[in-house]
Structure 1
């Protein structure tokens, strides 16, 4: 029988508070854990962080004190969940190693979403974005080799290929061209709305991570690369958040957020290989089922609609972290030279794009190019991890 979060019974809110011993969890072992376990951790950290931020925004617009108190109670639990999830990351990993894991998570999650997305316009948005993360992974991998004298397969294993995507320096666009047309909430499938929420949350988490991690590094080359990619991540958040229909009420948004958390924890509980981490996914799912029930009551009260009118009747197939090598190679061969113009896409270097490039670059070589140049000079070649044959740029593919 399909899993329907609205019909499942969760952990009562009064029973959800945990003490320090339960919160300060043992981190995973980076040398033995599946890289996709780390990807799930990074993803759920982004989902939980987004839920907390959204709840704060809702509270600031809510005049009802009792509802603000309920939001605060749920938000406190969300904050505990976020700490547990984020504390699973190993402290022995360097900032650069964690960065490689962030990019692997973004590549594989966005590729999976693009493959599953039925709406052509939304799918194109994910296809466009994932090629930029492919290139970020490649740039950080080259920095990792020169800065720490290690190779990225230590982190990503051979699950994700490391190769150029859309060149990072070409990802700097006029901010107006990062804004997409929103989906129509009355006609867009519930799964499509969930896809947008999860990808936006992960991008926002990456943006926040690079903004805070960049100044922690000492070498100018590393600081420059983090600064450059942090600016691109800001554009990515704009790119994805603009896909959401702004006509949704606060209560519909809250309902979608809570359902999305249930869906993600359910998905990861189904696919997680690490027993201890899977137990955390299962526990948090039980908590989120109660959060969803409370959000559904608010939605019915203030929007005067049944949640079934908005949500999927049952959880879709689980979100899966899996290799997307062939799919990504096809995208690189077909779309690596795309940029955006208005809400659409083009291969033309139009006037706004050229002006944005000139204003930012000022004739200088971008940090993302310099790190690869330096690795060629130090190591004798750039770092690549290709497991499926030649890079797509070398293939004769008709576009």
Structure 2
């Protein structure tokens, strides 16, 4: 029977506060942990960061003192959850190793969502961004070998391939062409709303991560690569956040956030291979059930609507981290030359796109330079292909300009 979080009471909020010993979780082993366990950790960190920041933004526009106080109480618990989740990442892993895991999340989470998404327009949005994150994994993998002298298969295993996606210099668009049409909150499937919130949160955390860790490197090519890809991630956040219907009320958005957290913790509890980490997902699910109940009460009181009118009657099938090699290869063969025009997609370069290209790529982009430097040092670029050669070798890493 499908799990309906609205029918379950979680841990009372007064019992959710943890002391320092409980927050001091042991990280996963960077050498022995399942790559997808690290992906689940990174995903839930992004989800918790979004929950915290959304609550802050809501509090800043809320005039009701009692509501602000309740938001603060729940938000503090969300902040503890975020600390536990993010602190599961191993300290001995380098920033670049964590970066490779971030991009593995971007490829295989977005790939899974694209395969499940019922709305063709939203599905296209996920497929479009996927080819750029796939390319970022390739660029960082080459940087990893250059400055740490290790290969990316150490991190991604054989689960995710490493090869060029949409060429890096083509990922820069006029900002107005990064804005998509939103779903209709009155007609969209509940699953579509969860997908949009999940991918927006994950990409937002990637953007935040790169904008903060990029200048910590001494190597010029690393600093430059994080700077460029960080700008592309800003484009992605604009792309994904615009899919969410701005007509949703603050109360509706709050309920959607809490329901999505229940969905993802439940999903990862079902699929986690590490028993200790599975226990954390289960604990946090039981906390989120109470957060959802409180959010639903606020919606009934202040929005005058029943949360059941906007939420799915039961959780969809669990979100699953799994290889998406066939999907990625199909997209490489059919959509690698796509760009955007207004809120749609085109295969032909247009005046606004070309103008942006000329301005920002007047100097050779770092995404191209990292491959140049890798070839100079090793004789070729790094790749990890498990299912044969790249499906569009003729488009391989075209030079800019």
What interval of TM-score do these two structures reach, taking the shorter chain for normalisation? over 0.9
When normalised by structure 1's length, the TM-score is: 0.98
Shift of 1:12: 0.1
Structure 1 CA distance for aligned equivalents of residues 300 and 136 of structure 2? 43
Q: Which residue matches 2:320?
A: 320
Corresponding position of 2:387 = 388
Q: How far apart are residue 61 of structure 1 and its match?
A: 0.7
For 1:371-390, what per-residue CA distance to the aligned partner results, in whole angstroms no more than 9, with x for missing partners? 01111111111000000011
- How far off is 1:394 after superposition? 3.8
Report the Cα distance in structure 2 between the residues aligned to 1:271 and 1:125, rounded to whole angstroms: 26
Matched, 1:43 2:48: no
What is the CA–CA distance in structure 1 between the aligned matches of 2:394 and 2:352, rounded to whole Å? 31
Equivalents in 1 of 2:172, 2:306: separation in Å? 43
Instruction: Tell me whether 1:379 sits opposite 2:368 in the alignment.
Output: no
Deviations 1:162-200 (A, max 9, x none): 010001111000000000001000000000000000000
Partner of 1:221: 221
What does residue 110 of structure 1 align with? 110
In the alignment, which residue of structure 2 is the partner of 1:266?
Answer: 266
Shift in Å, 1:395: 9.0
Q: Deviations over 1:327-384 (max 9, x none)?
A: 110011100100000000011110111111111122x211000101111111111000
Counterparts of 2:385 and 2:66 in 1: how far apart (Å)?
A: 56
Aligned to 2:348: 348
**What is the 5 A alignment of 1:117-266?**
117-266=117-266
**2:392 is paired with a residue of what secondary structure?**
helix
In 1, Cα distance between the equivalents of 2:76 and 2:214? 29
2:70 — aligned with what?
A: 70
Residue 52 (structure 2) pairs with residue 55 (structure 1): no
Aligned to 2:305: 305
Q: Which residue of 1 aligns with 2:399?
A: none
d(CA) in 2 for partners of 1:175 and 1:202?
Answer: 20
1:284 maps to what in 2?
284
Report the alpha carbon displacement of residue 392 of structure 1 after superposing the two structures with TM. 1.1
CA distance in 2 between partners of 1:293 and 1:395 (Å): 54
Aligned twin of 1:358? 358
Q: Which runs of 4+ in 1 moved over 2 A?
A: none
Q: Partners of 1:168 and 1:196 in 2: how far apart?
A: 24
Unpaired segments ≥5 residues, structure 2:
396-401
Distance 1:395 1:381, change over 3 A: closer
Q: Distance in 1 between matches of 2:212 and 2:32?
A: 28
Measured in 2, the distance between the counterparts of 1:387 and 1:198 equals 28
Q: Distance in 2 between matches of 1:265 and 1:54?
A: 18
How far apart, CA to CA, are the structure 1 residues paired with 2:288 and 2:169? 40
Q: Please name the residue that 1:333 is paired with.
A: 333
Tell me the distance in 2 between the aligned counterparts of 1:288 and 1:305: 21
* Per-residue CA distance 1:219-245 (angstroms, 9 max, x = gap): 110000000000000010000000000
Aligned residues: 395
Equivalent residue, structure 2, for 1:367: 366
Question: SS where residue 392 of structure 1 aligns?
Answer: coil
Q: Which residue of 2 aligns with 1:95?
A: 95
Q: Could you tell me how far apart the structure 1 residues matched to 2:353 and 2:210 are?
A: 24
- Displacement of 1:84 in angstroms is 0.1
Tell me by how many angstroms 1:218 deviates: 0.5
